[in-house]
Amino acid sequence: MRDLNRQLDQNLAAIDQRRQRLDQVQRDLDQQRERLASSLRQRQTLVAKLDSRYASEQSRLDLNQDRAHVERLLDRMQQELAKLKQPPPSTAIRKTRGDLPWPVQGRVLSNYGDGDGVDRNGVLIGAAAGSAVKAVHAGRVVFANWMRGFGNLLILDHGDGVLTLYAHLQQFTVNPGQQVANGQTVGAVGDTGGQTRPALYFEVRQNGEPINPNRWMAKR
C-alpha cells in the first residue's frame, strides 16, 4: 500500500507538471494571438492612411500621373501584341457590340470620362467585396498583376484589336496566357489601388484607344 501510495503521489506530481506546461503553452499561444492581432490592426491602420491620400488634391495629381504611366504601359503592350507572329484568333467580339454582359452586377459609381485618374477611361461599378467578376467575352489573359493606380489589374485580349480591363480586384482566378470562356469567373471585386470602397473598374480598348464601354454593353 505504501508503494502504491508513493506511485500515486508521483503520478499526481507528473500530471500537475504536465498541466503547468500546458498552461504555459496556452499563455504563449494567447500572447502570440494578441501579437498577430496587433500586427493586423497596425497593417489596417497603415492601409487606411495610404488610401486616405487619394482623397486630397495632391492625390489627384498622383492619379493623373498614374494614368499617364498606365497609358504608356498599355500602348507598349498593344504594340507587342501586334508584333506577335501568332496573334490571338478572332473571337468575333465586334459582332457582340451592344450585347456584351456586364462583368459584375452593381451600381455605376462613375461613367466613361467622369472618373478620376486611371478610372476615367471606363466605368466604375460598386459591388460587394469578393463578388465574382466575369469575363464579358472569350479571350486570352495577357496581364494579371498589380499596377500602380489600378491595384490588381487583369487584361483580356479578345483578338481583332479589342482588349478589356478589370481593375481593383481582390484576387485573380486565372493566370497570364490562359484562355477564358465567355462568362468565366476571372477574379473577385476588391478595393486595391487606393479605392475607398469595393468596386470594379471596367474598360474596353480598341486598337489601343479607350472607348465608351456603354456602347458595347447590354442595356440594364
- For the stretch 113-168, pLDDT in tens is 887 667 788 999 999 999 999 999 999 998 898 888 888 999 999 888 889 999 99
> pLDDT of 51-106, one tens digit each?
665 555 445 545 556 666 666 777 676 666 666 545 555 667 777 777 889 999 99
> Measured in Å, how far apart are the chain's first and last C-alpha atoms?
88
CA of 30: how far to CAs of 19, 22, 25, 38, 215, in Å? 16, 12, 9, 12, 56
**Looking at the DSSP assignment, which residues form a beta bridge with residue 205?**
163, 210
Q: Could you tell me the fold of the domain covering 56-215?
A: Glucose Permease (Domain IIA) (2.70.70)
Q: What does pTM read for this prediction?
A: 0.65
Residue 114 parent element (H or E): none
Residue type at 184? Q
Q: Domain residue spans in the chain?
A: 56-215
Name, in order, each residue with C-beta under 8 angstroms of 154's C-beta and a sequence gap of 6 or more. Answer: 133, 141, 143, 144, 165, 166, 167, 169, 172, 174, 186, 187
| CB-based contacts of 84, cutoff 8 Å, min separation 6 | none
Cell numbers 495629381: residue:
61
CA dist 8 and 147 (Å) reads 68
How far, rounded to the nearest angstrom, does the alpha carbon of residue 69 sit from its chain's CA centroid? 19
Contacts of 92 (CB under 8 A, 6+ apart): 160
pLDDT digits (tens, 9 = 90+) for 1-19: 888 878 888 888 888 888 8
Residue 203 near residue 185, CB atoms below 8 Å: no
Cell of 138: 472569350
> For 42-51, 82-91, 202-211, which range has the lowest pLDDT when averaged over its residues?
82-91
201 to each of 17, 165, 191, how far by Cα in Å?
60, 8, 10
Nearest residue to 70 via CA among 150, 7, 12:
150
Could you tell me which residues come within 8 angstroms of residue 207 by beta carbon, excluding any fewer than 6 positions away?
A: 78, 161
What pLDDT sits at residue 183?
94
DSSP letter for 121, please. G
Better-scored residue on pLDDT, 217 or 65: 217
Query: Could you report the per-residue pLDDT of 19-35, keeping only the tens digit for each?
Result: 888 888 888 888 888 88
Residue 120: the pLDDT is: 81
Report the C-alpha gap between 159 and 93 in whole angstroms. Answer: 8
The SS3 of residue 131 is coil
